Structure 1
Amino acid sequence: MTADASRTSVFTPAALQHLITTGDGPRLLDVRTPGEFQTGHIPGACNVPLDTLREHRMELGKHLDENVVLVCRSGARATQAEKALAEVGLPGLRVLDGGMAAWESSGAPVDRGPQRWELERQVRLIAGSVVLVSGVVGFFVPGVHLIGTAIGAGLTFAALSNTCAMGMMLSKLPYNRGPRTDIRTLVASLQDRA
């Protein structure tokens, strides 16, 4: 394990893979969207989208203990999930260091489904396209270039706050949602894995 700059405890992909291989693996909660989860996830992980986790954290907290590792694409959403669960009395949960990106880079096993573009890539496409178009149109229509400036300001804020409004909006699209998460099915799954 490595220490994160915040209070969140992180688990390296190698340490997690070792625990899973030895049969002492923790519960894995993947807080990405169902669409992202379907694309690829750690075998045995349970999908609990961040929005669902926040909304039902009291109920979910009753079925979890400290032997949980939270997973997302890079670690940012998992850290948010850790903070939400700490609010209901589950301190000390761990986050997969580097998320699925680090897990896949380490060569660890991944259950794969239909491939989709990751949210981060979608954000880059939309933001880049808006900046490009507003820059070109700005040569002919005064003031349009300010749209690109607004996008740049939004991306700067996203980096500083470790949140992304555009990513949150894109995650609501049907393409990214995948199957709807039912809280009763989710709780039953957590009880079965206890």
Structure 2
Amino acid sequence: MNYSIEKPDQVFLNHTPADVCIVDVRTTAEVKAKFLPSAVHIPLQTFSVNTLQQAINEQKPEKIFLLCHSGRRAEMAAKQLEGQIPSSIVVIEGGIQAIEKMNPNWVVTQGKTVSIERQVRIAAGTLVLSGVLAGLFVHSAWFALSGFVGAGLMFSGITDSCAMGLILAKMPWNK
């Protein structure tokens, strides 16, 4: 691991968000609902070394701070950058939630949006319920749909990655 993870109180010990280079890797819908005004937005699904370099232009920050909802997607972005840029990479632990808890005045809230995590739970629940109902009323083979979704949820929990979340992040309502 060539990146570090720091709590917001350490990141902003002597600085405000406007003083440091923060890259937000959440979806556009999430950023529209709640954001740090000084952060550069590059959704994880389009994140790469090239998009990062284009976004920060000619800045040559000593450290680049990665931000997401809670920290997981920022770590995924940090892994993409390992050894490819001269700046130090720091993942902000706890994401925008932790920053908002630390200093609510720094975070701008514009409205409600359904987070990717909630969208995954809604979609998974809908698929499981549909599989059970179709299994009862149409054909017992439909129970396999519920089993498949359950297996996917187990895999997601074990690996801490979520294919359904990545697919949902690409949907038009999350752009």
Normalising by structure 1, we get a TM-score of 0.76
Partner of 1:157 in structure 2? 155
Greater CA drift, 45-54 or 82-91: 82-91
Partner of 2:69 in structure 1? 73
Deviations 1:150-185 (A, max 9, x none): 1111122222222211111111122111xxxxxxxx
Q: What is the correspondence of 1:143-182 to structure 2 with a 5 Å cutoff?
A: 143-177=141-175
Deviations 1:91-134 (A, max 9, x none): 63100101122223334331122321001001000101111221
- The runs of at least 4 aligned residues of structure 1 exceeding 4 Å deviation read 60-64
Superposed displacement of residue 16, structure 1: 2.9
Superposed displacement of residue 64, structure 1: 4.3
The alpha-carbon distance between structure 1 residues 157 and 94, as it changes in their structure 2 partners (threshold 3 A), is: same
The alpha-carbon distance between structure 1 residues 56 and 144, as it changes in their structure 2 partners (threshold 3 A), is: same
Q: Is the 8 A contact 1:57 1:88 kept in 2?
A: no
Q: Is the 8 A contact 1:28 1:69 kept in 2?
A: yes
Alignment counterpart, residue 39 of structure 2, candidates 21, 26, 45 = 45
Structure 2 gap segments, 5+ residues each: none
The alpha-carbon distance between structure 1 residues 58 and 28, as it changes in their structure 2 partners (threshold 3 A), is: closer
Superposed displacement of residue 146, structure 1: 1.1
Partner of 1:112 in structure 2? 109
Partner of 1:185 in structure 2? none
Q: Is the 8 A contact 1:57 1:84 kept in 2?
A: no
Partner of 1:20 in structure 2? 15
Q: Is the 8 A contact 1:70 1:94 kept in 2?
A: yes
The alpha-carbon distance between structure 1 residues 135 and 34, as it changes in their structure 2 partners (threshold 3 A), is: same
Partner of 1:86 in structure 2? 82
Superposed displacement of residue 19, structure 1: 3.2
Structure 1 gap segments, 5+ residues each: 1-5, 178-194
Aligned-partner Cα distance in 2 for 1:90–1:155:
37
Aligned residues: 171
Amino acid of the residue matched to residue 48 of structure 2?
R
Aligned-partner Cα distance in 1 for 2:97–2:154:
22
The alpha-carbon distance between structure 1 residues 130 and 69, as it changes in their structure 2 partners (threshold 3 A), is: same
Q: Is the 8 A contact 1:30 1:72 kept in 2?
A: yes
Amino acid of the residue matched to residue 78 of structure 1?
A
Alignment counterpart, residue 135 of structure 1, candidates 132, 137, 142 = 132
Aligned-partner Cα distance in 1 for 2:128–2:111:
30
SS in 2 for 1:143: helix
SS in 2 for 1:56: helix
The Cα RMSD (Å) is 2.5
